[in-house]
Structure 1
Amino acid sequence: MRAVHTANAAPLHRFLLRLVDGRQEAAEDLFQETMLRAWRNLDELPPDGDAQRRWLFRVARNLAIDALRARQARPPEVGDLDPGRVPVAADVLECVLDRQLLDDALRRLSPEHRTVLVRLYYEDASVADVAASTGVPEGTVRSRSYYALRTVREFLERAGGRP
């Protein structure tokens, strides 16, 4: 189990961080739950390293989707705001507004479409890697990427942001 953790901890944590909009505590909770599920299901965990990673990412993705659904069922709390996410730049206000627009656009996507965009563009994963970790064909990953980018672009254009 230690080898599974060592080999997958960093990429899995980055993946979860993107899925939960940078909320560190939520990503850590999901990471711990993912590793706990792996430990409880050692007999189901594939022996191959790549297959293990796909299994872990699939479990993590499903947990993140469940957490998102639960979070959407309750109103946001003031404590959910993370002041550490404000970027440092020459025009801080513009950067904050751009980031907020992009976050809003990503939140409007389905969890499946958001997962594909996060993996492809934030984590620099290949289409094959995303397909393997989500359990869908490569063509579906390409299609989801196309439609997700189109949706984000349309949202940003309507909101007055840069596409």
Structure 2
Amino acid sequence: MMIDHGFTHEIHHRHGTALLRFARTLTLGDAHAAEDIVQETLVRAWRHADRLGTAPAQLRPWLFTVVRRLAIDGHRAKQARPAEIDEEEMLTRPVPDGTDHTLDRQVVRDALRTLESEYREVLVHRYLLDHSVEETAAELSIPTGTVKSRSSKALRTLRATLTTAR
């Protein structure tokens, strides 16, 4: 059977704007996706022209159903595959490899070595061994107030050392 290309041209002329508006609504304003959906709808109308009849004016419900189904299929396909990543973004995205963590540890270790031993001991117990003030005081045989003041002074000194190291 010979298919009349004027049939799809007439469908596009009569319904194209409304189909595009409807497809844009379904694609949340994505103009390219909407255009693709309308184009695929017209291709399907062309393929089924012999079954659809010759009256393009009466095809509106069928066309809108096809647009809606294509939009749903497109949405489902996006949900089923991983998110697309821009190639340039992929090339500039840092890859976590542990280097930053290792460097940070080395810088902090070096800064801790600059502290006097009594201040370093307090920080080791408080932050590296995760002891409470009371546990640290008992372990080092010093008053809790001394633990607090040494912690405070040691942290200020470390902060100053690390700030100037940058």
TM-score, with structure 2 as normaliser = 0.44
Task: Tell me: higher relative CO, structure 1 or 2? Use CA pairs within 8 A at least 6 residues apart.
Answer: 1
Task: Output the TM-score relative to the length of structure 1.
Answer: 0.44
Which has the higher Rg, Structure 1 or Structure 2? Answer: 2
